[in-house]
């Protein structure tokens, strides 16, 4: 495969001796001495290429677990759903609703996880002969989670069972209202829970304090799938399915599970890897009109991969909830008519372009505010930006961009008339902002808020912003300091441009799907000449890297033109550099070409203008 087998790590752990790259990071070998020994054992026992063995060892795969990791199956990975606290009660109540033909209302969140959870559950209930009501709240007028008015409206439409998906764990008052109205409630959620839980028949949430399942890494759509498995099993045991009403093949629902899991950026470990692997297979069959139209409007060429779900499909589903009709995404996922699906997908694509324009304008303002607050030396544990006129639907995306740019937790808050602001936060690995936000609520600094370690939402009074900033600086400073000191670029291995072929990409992909918790392998190209570099598209940098034997690989650095990496690329044309990034296939007009996605560069000789 052209893998450079010689040891590039110095005694200080630096890879290729890079202490300060174009982006200001040290490069480090992902494997320590013990990891290197495990990689060697993996390669020898399983007869794998050395680079693939290093990638597996770098993800803490043990020698005996290699086969299971390379072929993740749901049958082997998924435990009995009843290991989740309250799952038996939830499954029994849902099975009862199916058998009785009740009106079931599904209340989902307005993001991709909520949309896919709602669509998956609704489709299963339709198999059972029900006509469920789906309600996705309007982000601007209703906000996150169940509200009393919506609960009353659903009860008025005849709902006798309310199922909340990707929300509900902290919705005490609205779910108390449901009980008053005689509506049973089942909660399927994965957000962090307080000690006090709302009244419900069952709250299925692996992050509630009394749950010992160890499944807290699942997205809500994964938990919804497990709930459906449990309900389906009960219905089978009770003889519900028949030749007139055949039992559904639940594997056909895995496309929704994969989409919601990747888009919600939960760790691609354990059962999530199996969900995404098998869900991608379901998507590749192009059997569902809504999903197929979504892939077509996103101009997805070739078979879908995990990153397509997060960067191409997910944002379009989200666009409806962010700046358009909240339920448009879930309606598309439920649509079976190709013509109707194409119309919905086109509208979501239009909304997504509109969202992108709003996001860019908001991001420019937020970056300017953040740089002014952090100062030239970029001091501070957290970035908090807020302004009037920002669209609440894009603040989560802006927070994510700020987090990437400044390497620390970031919050973006849209201030509304009436002195109230709604915002979102995104965090870095090792810093739990969900816990900090819940503490801020308990101390009266926030009107409401919650989330999980990597993402949180909040509502705050404008007058409390300074106090909130001080609180979060204090609460997160220690963990952020540790995380930022460990912020080296971890390298999985090195190859030359001569090895950059389709076989190499296929070999690396065996360790996928890649995403949160199973990071895309970072590969170094040592001492290659930067023969070309120029801006292309929307602030991307296109480049060409040539090895000593004359072989070359085309490269691209996304959104780098106005960043440190872009400047370093422009200023070092013709020089020898070390490059780091990941390999992918670029499909264009029916052709497949290897593309190197640049993450960083460093001097093989001194870099100019860094």
pLDDT band at 606 (very low <50, low <70, confident <90, very high): low
Q: Are 230 and 91 in contact (CB under 8 A)?
A: yes
Per-residue pLDDT tens digits for 185-210: 999 999 989 889 999 999 999 999 99
pLDDT at residue 497, as a whole number: 96
Q: What percent of the chain has pLDDT over 70?
A: 97
pLDDT at residue 280, as a whole number: 97
pLDDT band at 5 (very low <50, low <70, confident <90, very high): very low
- Measure the CA–CA gap between 403 and 417, rounded to whole angstroms: 27
pLDDT higher than threshold 70 for residue 355: yes
pLDDT band at 4 (very low <50, low <70, confident <90, very high): very low
Residue with structure tokens 């490059």?
Answer: 579
User: What pTM did the predictor assign?
Assistant: 0.89
pLDDT at residue 378, as a whole number: 74
pLDDT band at 11 (very low <50, low <70, confident <90, very high): very low
Please provide residue 113's backbone torsions phi and psi, each rounded to the nearest 5 degrees.
Answer: -60, -45
Per-residue pLDDT tens digits for 357-399: 999 999 999 999 999 988 766 788 999 999 999 999 899 999 9
pLDDT higher than threshold 50 for residue 609: no
Per-residue pLDDT tens digits for 432-462: 999 999 999 999 999 989 888 888 999 999 9
- Number of residues in the chain: 610
Of these ranges, 314-323, 485-494, 576-585, the one predicted with the greatest mean pLDDT is 576-585
Task: Collapse the DSSP code of 423 into the 3-class scheme (helix H, G, I; strand E, B; otherwise coil) and give the result.
Answer: strand
Domain 375-484 falls under CATH 3.10.310.30: yes
Structural tokens at position 222: 């994964």
Span 491-515, mean pLDDT? 96
The helix or strand, by DSSP H or E, that contains position 479, with its residue range, turns out to be: helix 465-485
Strands 540-546 and 552-557: antiparallel
Chain-centre distance of CA 343, in angstroms? 27
Considering the chain, what is the average pLDDT of its residues? 93
Name 421's bridge partners. Answer: 415, 460
Residues 6+ positions from 241 with CB-CB distance below 8 Å: 235, 247
Span 140-164, mean pLDDT? 94
Long-range contacts of 151-157 (CB under 8 A, 24+ apart): 151/175, 151/177, 151/178, 151/181, 151/183, 152/177, 152/181, 154/105, 154/107, 154/183, 155/181, 155/182, 155/183, 157/103, 157/105, 157/133
Per-residue pLDDT tens digits for 80-100: 999 999 999 999 999 999 999
* Strand order, beta sheet including 161-165: 133-135, 104-108, 161-165, 184-188, 202-204
Give me the residue spans of the domains in the chain.
27-70+489-603, 76-349, 375-484
- Measure the CA–CA gap between 57 and 598, rounded to whole angstroms: 23
pLDDT at residue 40, as a whole number: 97
pLDDT at residue 377, as a whole number: 67
- Which CATH topology does 76-349 take? inorganic pyrophosphatase (n-terminal core) (3.90.1640)
Name 524's bridge partners. Answer: 494, 580
pLDDT at residue 1, as a whole number: 34
Per-residue pLDDT tens digits for 525-558: 999 999 999 999 989 999 999 999 999 999 999 9
pLDDT higher than threshold 50 for residue 15: yes
Span 340-355, mean pLDDT? 96
pLDDT higher than threshold 80 for residue 486: no
Per-residue pLDDT tens digits for 53-68: 999 999 999 999 999 9
Structural tokens at position 104: 């079931």
Per-residue pLDDT tens digits for 212-263: 999 999 999 999 999 999 999 999 999 999 999 999 999 999 999 999 999 9
Structural tokens at position 513: 């799907």
pLDDT band at 8 (very low <50, low <70, confident <90, very high): low
- Measure the CA–CA gap between 87 and 560, rounded to whole angstroms: 46
- Measure the CA–CA gap between 557 and 67, rounded to whole angstroms: 34
SS3 sequence of 27-46: EEECCCHHHHHHHHHHHHHH
- Which CATH topology does 27-70+489-603 take? OB fold (Dihydrolipoamide Acetyltransferase, E2P) (2.40.50)
C-alpha R_g of the chain: 25
Of 109-123, 369-383, 572-586, the one with minimum mean pLDDT is 369-383
Number of C-beta neighbours around residue 388 at 10 A: 10
The reply to whether domains 27-70+489-603 and 375-484 share a CATH topology is no
pLDDT at residue 211, as a whole number: 97
Of these ranges, 22-36, 85-99, 417-431, 445-459, the one predicted with the greatest mean pLDDT is 85-99
């Amino acid at each position: 495969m052209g893998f450079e087998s010689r040891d590039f790590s110095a005694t200080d752990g630096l890879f290729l001796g890079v202490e300060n790259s174009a982006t200001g990071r040290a490069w480090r070998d992902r494997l320590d001495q013990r990891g290197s020994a495990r990689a060697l054992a993996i390669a020898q026992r399983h007869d794998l290429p050395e680079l693939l063995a290093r990638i597996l060892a770098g993800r803490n795969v043990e020698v005996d677990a290699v086969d299971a990791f390379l072929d993740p199956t749901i049958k082997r990975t998924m435990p009995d759903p009843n290991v989740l606290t309250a799952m038996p009660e939830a499954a029994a109540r849902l099975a009862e609703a199916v058998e009785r033909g009740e009106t079931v209302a599904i209340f989902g969140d307005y993001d991709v996880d909520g949309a896919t959870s709602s669509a998956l559950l609704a489709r299963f209930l339709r198999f059972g002969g029900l006509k469920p009501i789906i309600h996705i709240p309007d982000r601007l007028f209703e906000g996150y989670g169940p509200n009393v008015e919506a609960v009353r409206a659903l009860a008025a439409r005849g709902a006798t069972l309310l199922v909340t998906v990707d929300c509900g764990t902290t919705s005490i008052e609205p779910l108390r209202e449901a009980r008053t109205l005689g509506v049973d409630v089942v909660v399927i959620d994965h957000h962090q829970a307080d000690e006090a839980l709302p009244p419900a028949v069952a709250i299925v949430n692996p992050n509630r304090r009394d749950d010992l399942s160890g499944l807290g890494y699942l997205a809500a759509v994964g938990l919804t799938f497990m709930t459906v498995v449990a309900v389906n099993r009960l219905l089978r045991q009770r003889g519900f399915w028949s030749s007139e009403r055949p039992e559904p093949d639940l594997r056909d629902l895995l496309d929704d599970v994969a989409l919601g899991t990747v888009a919600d950026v939960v760790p691609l470990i354990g059962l999530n890897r199996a969900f995404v692997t098998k869900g991608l297979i379901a998507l590749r069959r192009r059997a569902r009109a809504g999903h197929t139209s979504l892939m077509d409007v996103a101009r997805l060429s070739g078979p879908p991969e995990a990153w397509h779900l997060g960067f191409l499909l997910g944002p379009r589903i989200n666009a409806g909830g962010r700046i358009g009709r909240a339920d448009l995404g879930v309606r598309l996922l439920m649509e079976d008519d190709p013509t109707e699906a194409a119309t919905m997908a086109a509208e979501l694509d239009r909304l997504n372009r509109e969202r992108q324009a709003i996001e860019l304008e908001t991001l420019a303002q937020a970056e300017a505010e953040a740089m002014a607050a952090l100062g030239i030396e970029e001091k501070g544990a957290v970035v908090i930006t807020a302004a009037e006129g920002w669209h609440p639907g894009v603040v989560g995306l802006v927070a994510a961009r700020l987090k990437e740019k400044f390497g620390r937790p970031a919050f973006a808050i849209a201030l509304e008339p009436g002195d109230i602001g709604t915002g979102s936060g995104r965090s870095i690995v090792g810093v739990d902002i969900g816990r900090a936000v819940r503490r801020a609520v308990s101390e009266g600094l926030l009107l409401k808020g919650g989330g999980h370690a990597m993402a949180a939402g909040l509502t705050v009074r404008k007058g409390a912003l300074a106090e909130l900033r001080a609180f979060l600086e204090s609460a997160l400073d220690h963990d952020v300091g540790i995380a930022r000191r460990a912020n080296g670029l971890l390298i999985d291995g090195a190859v030359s441009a001569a090895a950059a072929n389709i076989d190499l990409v296929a070999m690396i992909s065996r360790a996928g799907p890649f995403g949160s918790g199973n990071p895309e392998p970072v590969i170094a190209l040592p001492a290659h000449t930067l023969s070309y570099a120029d801006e292309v598209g929307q602030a991307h940098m296109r480049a060409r890297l040539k090895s000593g034997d004359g072989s070359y690989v085309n490269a691209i650095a996304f959104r780098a033109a106005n960043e440190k990496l872009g400047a370093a690329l422009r200023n070092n044309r013709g020089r020898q550099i070390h490059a780091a990034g990941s390999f992918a296939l670029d499909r264009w007009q029916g052709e497949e070409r290897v593309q190197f996605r640049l993450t960083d560069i460093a001097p093989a000789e001194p870099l100019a203008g860094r």
